[in-house]
Amino acid sequence: MTETLTIPRPDDWHLHLRDGAMLRAVLPESARHFGRAIVMPNLVPPVVTGAEAAAYRERIMAALPDGSGFRPLMTLYLTEETDPRDVEMAARTGLVQAVKLYPAGATTNSQSGVRDFDKVTGVLETMAQIGLPLCVHGEVTDPAVDIFDREAAFIDRVLDPLRRRIPGLKVVMEHITTKVGVDYVAAGGAAIGGTITVHHLVLNRNHLLAGGIRPHYYCLPVVKREEHRLALRKAATSGDPSFFLGTDSAPHTDPAKLQPCGCAGCFTATNALAVLAHVFDEDGALDRLAGFASEHGPAFYGLPVAEETITLEKIPAACPPAIETGDGPVTVFDPGFAPAWRVRP
């Protein structure tokens, strides 16, 4: 008899959809399995104002497959010129669910991010007052800090002082990659949560670098030592409501990945849930998969758990190696093994 698991339809609390032809190609991959997603605002130019978020949401809705119930949850890109009044209005009307902090230069399309945190204090204080979460890319950009240490340095230099200065601010530390990040979120109380990606649950830096560089495993924050991967798996499968799924699925065309200075990002939307079920099964935690994928995120964001369900079944299924877009092919994440689970069609 086929082993099955039915859970509330999961949500993706960190997703890149891009725009234009790329948006139209990758959106169905997320909408097939996920009910909602926090959509990243790092377009070119970035989504900074409420009006820009509304326009982007319209483009996403227009690109959805017919009959899809997928709901994009919009965010604003925090800059040093962001208007607190615009943020408050966008939040109170239900247009946006969070504001995203990119330290300037930290990752893809982050050039407009924050350099001087004193210049965004007013926005952050407004967000604390209205309960709007701040999603952070948790890395410093100081070139003197080793790239494998930038998450820990961000906690010490930026995040912890910021939370002490504005204690009412809700924060999501996105795509945690280290035991330091796991421990900080776990000890931080109800006002902080952490998303964990699928690829950081299965990759360490040997997968990226040993035996040759694998560009499709290059992401930011970069994958770390095995001890950190194991800490992430322990956190994700623990049942701790501080942690929830954010795939950080980030599509780039193969020509953009396969060049001397290739783009950072793993495109996992197509097979994220199959890989996730495989991981939880391996760790004897299938009973906690619904919490991580479907329940903890809505609780943090103050949203209801999905009434619709999906069923996962223990049947291996082939995944396409790439999807075609109007901009070029995008390679689908290869976890290095054949997932034993699939989402029932």
pLDDT of residue 317: 86
Instruction: State whether residue 41 is helix, strand or coil.
Output: coil
Percent of the chain surpassing pLDDT 90: 94
Cα–Cα distance for residue pair 214/20, rounded to 1 Å: 28
State pLDDT tens for residues 202-227: 999 999 999 999 999 999 999 999 99
State pLDDT tens for residues 74-132: 999 999 999 999 999 999 999 999 999 998 877 766 677 888 889 999 999 999 999 99
State pLDDT tens for residues 147-174: 999 999 999 999 999 999 999 999 999 9
Q: What pTM value is reported for the model?
A: 0.97
- Give the CATH number, domain containing residue 180: 3.20.20.140
The residue ranges of DSSP E strands in the chain, in sequence order, are: 4-8, 12-15, 36-39, 71-77, 96-101, 134-137, 171-174, 192-196, 243-245, 309-313, 322-325, 328-331, 342-343
Give 338's pLDDT tier (boundaries 50, 70, 90): very high
| Amino acid symbol at 122 | G
Residue with tokens 């965010």: 75
Q: Please give, one letter per residue, the 3-state secondary structure of 239-267.
A: CCCCEEECCCECCCCHHHHCCCCCCCCCC
Residue 1 has pLDDT above 70, yes or no: no
The residue among 105 and 230 whose pLDDT is bigger is 230
Give 135's pLDDT tier (boundaries 50, 70, 90): very high
Domain count, the chain: 1
Q: Which residues pair with 72 in a beta bridge?
A: 37
User: Active-site residue numbers?
Assistant: 248
| Sign of the alpha-carbon torsion through 42, 43, 49, 55 | negative
* Boundaries of domain holding 331: 4-343
Give 263's pLDDT tier (boundaries 50, 70, 90): very high
Give 68's pLDDT tier (boundaries 50, 70, 90): very high
State pLDDT tens for residues 177-196: 999 999 999 999 999 999 99
Residues 262-287: what's their mean pLDDT? Answer: 98
Average model confidence (pLDDT) across the chain: 96
Percent of the chain surpassing pLDDT 70: 99
